[in-house]
Amino acid sequence: MSSHAEIRRSPSGTLGSLTNSDQVEIERLHGISQALAVEQLQMEIWSANGGWIVPSHVLLIVSDYGGILLGARVDGALVGFVLGFLARSDGRYFHASHMLGVLPAYRQHGIGAALKRRQREVAREQGLELMRWTFDPLEARNAYLNLHKLGAVCRIYEQDYYGPMRDALNRGLPSDRLLVEWDLHATDRRPGLDGTPQIVLRNKEGSPELTMDSVVTGPPIAIEVPNDFQKMKTEGPDLALSWRLAVRQAFSVSLGKGYEAVDFRDGRYILASQKEPGNEN
């Protein structure tokens, strides 16, 4: 079974800013040939060696026995995928989404969102109500997709979750991650919060500036992050580490005070309190 979603292409046929009738096809992937194609796609997306990708034989088993493996095709070519599997925690079954990737030339055209929404449909068909996954809090594009476009929320920050990672996009820094939860029956967009949030981590001319001492339960708060963390990691690894540690502190303190990340816009996370004002228990 497959579905279609519009993508944006230029008149010349390359991806651009204009819309026409070209589409991306989202389909469920099965069989060893398609599993091998996703194995190769991982290496192209993340510039990873064979030791850090999900191998084809695991992809095959996951897709054949209750997991979800979807591919995105443009003009018949596989350009993206999403992978997840059935999981259980605290007596509740949910879908654990493990990987989402799109080739660089096809990013920022809605393919990732189309894959997630089709993944949601399949998980619903399996009778599930919840999806969970992790992402790097310093990847602004992913934060915008996960929190703003899809409406997921985050209450947990994991320090160095995967340990040392060896792919080109992740190596060299602690693999800190936000764990998000997606209510599969909620609407995508979340209502805006009232009031101007207090910025507890500011992007000050490219450097992190923390002001955590004044955080109290109640009004919304904001955590700013750089726009292009991958470029920063290449050009200024020491600055990238400073951002990693500052974001770690900002989220750890804020979530510890009962906040949850509910949106991402204009380069900043928006966090709302789960507690009643004045109640710190």
Q: Does one domain contain both 168 and 232? A: no
77 lies in the same domain as 206? no
C-alpha 10/C-alpha 17 separation (Å) is 6
**Mean pLDDT over each residue of the chain, to the nearest integer:** 86
Whether residue 21 has pLDDT greater than 50 = no
Among 122, 157, 183, give the residue marking a domain's end. Answer: 183
Domain boundary, last residue among 145, 160, 183:
183
Question: Are residues 233 and 97 both part of a single domain?
Answer: no
The verdict on 103 and 213 lying in the same domain is no
Do residues 107 and 234 both lie within one domain?
Answer: no
The answer to whether residues 140 and 81 belong to one domain is yes
Which is it for strands 153-158 and 198-204: parallel, antiparallel or unpaired? unpaired
> Which CATH number fits the domain that encloses residue 47?
3.40.630.30
pTM of the model: 0.85
What pLDDT, on a 0 to 100 scale, did the predictor assign at position 190? Answer: 60
**Total residue length of the chain:** 281
DSSP H or E run through 80? strand 77-89
- Residue 243 inside a domain? The answer is yes
- 215-271 pLDDT per residue, tens: 677 889 999 999 999 899 888 989 999 999 999 999 999 999 999 999 999 999 999
Shared domain check, 151 and 211: no
Residues with Cβ within 8 Å of 192's Cβ and at least 6 positions away in sequence, in order, are 263
Boundary-marking domain end, from 151, 183, 215: 183
Residues 8 and 120 occupy one common structural domain: yes
Number of domains in the chain: 2
Q: What residues are paired with 157 via a beta bridge?
A: 178
Please determine, for residue 208, whether its predicted confidence score (pLDDT) is greater than 80. Answer: yes
Task: Answer yes or no: is 82 within a domain.
Answer: yes
Domain extent, residue 118, equals 2-183
CA distance 133 to 244: 19
Mean pLDDT, residues 138-166 taken together: 92
pLDDT number for residue 9: 38
- Domain presence at residue 278: no
Mapping DSSP onto H, E and C, the string for 83-111 reads EEEEEEECCEEEEEEEEEEECHHHCCCCH
Residues 210 and 76 in one domain: no
Query: Does residue 172 sit in the same domain as residue 38?
Result: yes
DSSP summary character for residue 217: S
pLDDT in tens, 96-113: 999 999 999 999 899 999
56, part of any domain: yes
Answer yes or no: is 102 within a domain. Answer: yes
Q: Name the region of 39 (left: φ>0; alpha: ψ -120 to 50; beta: rest).
A: alpha
- Secondary structure E strands in 113-163: 130-135, 153-158
In a domain, 55, yes or no: yes
State the Cα–Cα distance between residues 281 and 278, nearest whole angstrom: 9
In-domain check, residue 117: yes
161 and 228 within one domain: no
Predicted pLDDT of residue 168? 58
Assess if residue 99 is contained within a domain.
yes
